Chains A and B, each alone.
Chain A
Amino acid sequence: MRHLVFVFLFLIFFTMPVFALHPDEILPDPVLESRARDISRQVRCLVCQGEDIDESQAELAGDLRRAIRQRLVAGDSDGDVLKWLESRYGQRILFRPPVDGDTALLWFAPFAVIAGGCAYVFYGRKRKRKG
C-alpha cells in the first residue's frame, strides 16, 4: 500500500507541466510578472495542440510572452493586452472568447442541451405516471 502511494506521488511529480518560461523573460516587477503569467494562461499557442503560451515551448509562444510583457511595462491593462492580441489574431487566440453575438451559441449551447435533456426526462416521467 505504501508502495502505491509512493508511485502515485512519483508519477504526479514527474508529470507536472514543465514551464517554458525562460529566466530572462521574467520581469523585475513581481506584480507585472504575475499579470503576465495570468494573461499568458488565457492565450492559445497557435502552433501547438491546445497549449497556452505560458506552458508552450514553441518559439511563437515565447515571442508572444515577450510582447505581452513589453505592453504591460508600457502601461497596458490586462484587458488592453487581450484586446490587442485579439485584434491581431482574432478570437481563436483566446481560450475564453468574449461573449457576444457570434459566440453566444458557443457559450450557451451546452446549457441549452442539458436543459433540453432534463426537460425531456422530466416530461417523460410525467407521461409515464399519467399512464
Chain B
Amino acid sequence: MKARFIPLAGFVFFAVAMAFLLMRGGDFKSVPSAVVGKPAPTAFAGADGKAYLVNFFASWCGPCAEEQPVLLEFSKKTGVAVQGIRYKDKADSARRFLSIYGDPFDAIVADDDGRIAIDWGVSGVPETFVVSASGRVLYHHAGLLTAEDFKKHVAPHLKGSVP
C-alpha cells in the first residue's frame, strides 16, 4: 500500500471502529452500575432469606405509572418483596397514585431531600434495584422497567435465594 494512504486508512479504521461500538449500543437502561456488588445503602427488614426489589418512584413521574402494574403483576407471580422509595413526593399524592396504578410495595420509605437517591447512585425516577438476601446489590435498572426487562434482567436474580 502506498505510504500516502496510511493516514486515510488510519482514519477509516478509526471511524469504522467507532461506528461499530456505537451501533452495538446495547441496553442503555442496564448499564454497569457503580453500586452493583456493594452493600445496599438502605437497609430493609424482612428479606426472609430471599432477594428483593427496591423501586424509586414518584406520583409526578409518568413512566412510573406504566411501571407499577408491571411490578405488581410480577411481584405477585414471583412472590418477590418490593420495597418502595418515594422520591420527593407527598405521602397522600403517592397513595392516590398507587391506588390508581397499582401498589406492589411491602413498605415505602420517604426520600424527601433526594439524599437516599444519591446514596443509591440514582439520578431520576423510576429506577429499580435487585438486592440479595444478604443485602448486596445485584442489579441496577435506570428508567422504565417493562415486562420484558423484568423477565430478562430481574427474574434471573430471583431464582432461589442468592446469598
Residue of A nearest to B33 (CB): A90
- Cβ–Cβ contact B118 & A63, under 8 A: yes
- Cβ–Cβ contact B6 & A89, under 8 A: no
- Cβ–Cβ contact A64 & B118, under 8 A: yes
Which one of B73-81, B102-110, B119-127 contacts A? Answer: B119-127
- Count how many chain A residues have C-beta atoms less than 8 Å from C-beta atoms of the other chain: 18
**Alpha-carbon separation in the docked complex, A59 to B124 (Å):** 10
Q: Is B34 an interface residue (CB 8 A)?
A: yes
Q: Is B48 an interface residue (CB 8 A)?
A: no
- Cβ–Cβ contact B124 & A87, under 8 A: no
CB distance from B89 to the nearest CB of A (A): 13
Q: Is A120 an interface residue (CB 8 A)?
A: yes
Residue interface mask B102-140, A partner, CB < 8 A = 1:
000000000001110111110110000000000000000
- Cβ–Cβ contact B123 & A89, under 8 A: yes
Interface residues of B in 17-56 (CB under 8 A from A): 32-35, 38
Cβ-defined partner of A87 (8 Å) among B3, B6, B38, B88: B38
Question: Contacts A46-B123, A60-B123 known; A90 to B34 CB distance under 8 Å?
Answer: yes
Q: Which residues of B contact A (CB under 8 A)?
A: 3, 6-7, 10, 32-35, 38, 88, 113-115, 117-121, 123-124
Q: Which residues of A contact B (CB under 8 A)?
A: 46-47, 59-60, 63-64, 66-67, 86-90, 116-117, 120, 124, 127
With contacts A64-B118, A66-B113, A89-B123 known, what are 20 further pairs, Cβ within 8 A?
A46-B123, A47-B123, A59-B88, A59-B114, A60-B114, A60-B123, A60-B124, A63-B113, A63-B114, A63-B115, A63-B118, A67-B115, A67-B118, A88-B118, A88-B119, A88-B120, A117-B7, A120-B7, A124-B3, A127-B3
